[in-house]
Chain A
Amino acid sequence: AQKITQTQPGMFVQEKEAVTLDCTYDTSDPSYGLFWYKQPSSGEMIFLIYQGSYDQQNATEGRYSLNFQKARKSANLVISASQLGDSAMYFCAMREGPTGNQFYFGTGTSLTVIP
């Protein structure tokens, strides 16, 4: 089974609107971390937000929030008030394992913000 599944290869959103990027994960490890990264066309990977498996509250970082539903094993990224600069690839990732050395990435979602 895929460790990280992103089912939306491409998404479009109107500027200033909110958008949700889906991510589901698969693990039997009780301790894990979930991350979202942004990759603009220039190539660098930018860390956006982190959610720990034991965290009670959903993570938020500015306009980014993570909708963590543990029972459903989903960790969707919500971007509020989209900006043109948000157009990029977005990758969901998970860190697990006894040493935390296992990182898994989804296939990514390409987000385009329309003016």
Chain B
Amino acid sequence: GAVVSQHPSRVICKSGTSVKIECRSLDFQATTMFWYRQFPKQSLMLMATSNEGSKATYEQGVEKDKFLINHASLTLSTLTVTSAHPEDSSFYICSAAGYVPQPQHFGDGTRLSIL
């Protein structure tokens, strides 16, 4: 099946640090990539949707200056959490989808802990 690689899997850093998370589709071209945040025992919360070469579409309430998304190619999207604070600690998971009707394929997620 399709493989999506997300890196790093875990980050622990000090408050004020910026953290970059990479999401790569390894064996297919992703027309769309999605970034989610998930709190314990809850469903996925969509943060933004990005298409290759265009600006990401952010969900209401998600600060675009805080969560910078770059979708540089059909196989790579990055999420940068700028000046992270403890409230940004969470599980961040990316996914990639090809053309309809393909499903989203997810990366393994990144556990971000801000001290």
Contact = CB atoms under 8 A, between A and B. Distances in A.
B91 interface: yes
Contacts of B105: 47
A37 B106 contact: yes
A84 interface: no
Nearest to A55: B101
Interface string B19-58: 0000000000000101000000011101001010000000
A56 to B, nearest CB: 15
Contacts, number: 61
A42 B108 CA distance: 9
B103 A35 contact: yes
B111 A43 contact: yes
Interface stretch (A13-21, A67-75, A98-106): A98-106
Between B49, B105, B106, the greatest number of chain A beta carbons within 10 A of the residue's beta carbon is seen for B106
B100 A43 contact: no
A101 B49 contact: yes
Contacts of A105: 43-44
Q: Which of B100, B105, B106, B107 has the most CB of A within 10 A?
A: B100
A103 B43 CA distance: 13
B79 interface: no
B103 A47 contact: yes
Contacts of B44: 45, 91, 105
Interface of B: 1, 32, 34, 42-44, 46, 49, 51, 91, 93, 95, 97, 99-101, 103-109, 111
Interface of A: 31, 33, 35, 37, 42-47, 50, 52, 91, 93, 95, 99-101, 103, 105-108
